[in-house]
């Protein structure tokens, strides 16, 4: 297994640790969760960069990299929904898009084709990561290691009441638009199966 694929697999391990850290009550649960989420997100950036620069792109990586992203972000968004920071309908819309795109990739894979992530999908993932990081940082700022950052969330423009709706709107818009564009771009795969 090459280095980019090892990084992709490590993202799944970081995701498991993130879920445990944020699910088990403790004084630093969200501080630890934020750190694990950031580390996992860095592996997302690194694996693609290394794969392209060293010509280590594989079918495994093209399939598993976006799948590992989806699992990480689903874990974060479900956690944030449990904390009352994301509405359930928004999490369902995001997860539905991810399941539909993964289903399309599976259909294509059955025909011997690999549908890699595209530029819009990467932008969508970026906005999802930014939104999750913001909210996890907000939760971590309630804990003593990051309590110094708590006043940031009370500043005009950075507060949850102002910035959160903007981030959620951007996340929803890029998620839905990228999903529709992905299906349109790969519509022949769908049409051939009907």
What residue spans define the domains of the chain?
3-192
In order, the DSSP letters of the chain are: --HHHHHHHHHHHHHHHHHHHHHS--TTHHHHHHHHHHHHHHHHHHHHHHHHHTT---HHHHHHHHHHHHHHHHHHHHHHHHTTSS-HHHHHHHHHHHHHHHHHHHHHHHTT------HHHHHHHHHHHHHHHHHHHHHHTTSGGGGGGGGGGGSTTTSHHHHHHHHHHHHHHHHHHHHHHHHHHTHHHHHHT-
Q: What is the pLDDT of residues 79-127, one digit of tens each?
A: 999 999 999 999 999 999 999 988 888 888 777 777 767 788 889 999 9
Predicted confidence (pLDDT) at residue 139 exceeds the cutoff of 70: yes
CB hemisphere CA count around 28 (13 angstroms): 7
Q: What pLDDT is recorded for position 186?
A: 85
If you average pLDDT over residues 54-60, what whole number do you get? Answer: 87
pLDDT at position 194: 66
| Proportion of the chain above pLDDT 90, given as a percent | 65
As a whole number, mean pLDDT of residues 12-35 equals 96
Interval 6-19: pLDDT, tens: 999 999 999 999 99
Mean pLDDT of 160-189: 91
In CATH, the number for domain 3-192 is 1.20.120
As a whole number, the mean pLDDT across the chain is 91
Note the pLDDT of residue 168. 96
């Amino acid at each position: 297994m090459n280095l980019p694929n090892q990084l992709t697999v490590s993202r799944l391990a970081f995701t498991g640790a993130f879920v445990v850290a944020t699910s088990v009550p403790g004084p630093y649960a969200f501080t630890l969760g934020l750190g694990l989420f950031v580390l996992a997100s860095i592996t997302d950036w690194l694996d693609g960069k290394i794969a392209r620069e060293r010509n280590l792109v594989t079918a495994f990586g093209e399939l598993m990299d976006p799948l590992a992203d989806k699992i990480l972000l689903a874990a974060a968004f479900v956690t944030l929904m449990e904390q009352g920071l994301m509405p359930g309908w928004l999490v369902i819309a995001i997860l539905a898009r991810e399941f539909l795109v993964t289903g399309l990739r599976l259909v294509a894979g059955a025909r011997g084709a690999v549908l890699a992530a595209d530029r819009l999908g990467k932008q969508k993932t970026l906005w999802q990561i930014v939104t999750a990081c913001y909210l996890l940082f907000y939760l971590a700022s309630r804990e003593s290691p990051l309590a110094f950052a708590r006043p940031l969330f009370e500043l005009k423009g950075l507060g949850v009441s102002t910035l959160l709706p903007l981030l959620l709107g951007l996340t929803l818009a890029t998620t839905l638009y990228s999903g529709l564009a992905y299906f349109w771009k790969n519509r022949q795969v769908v049409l051939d199966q009907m």
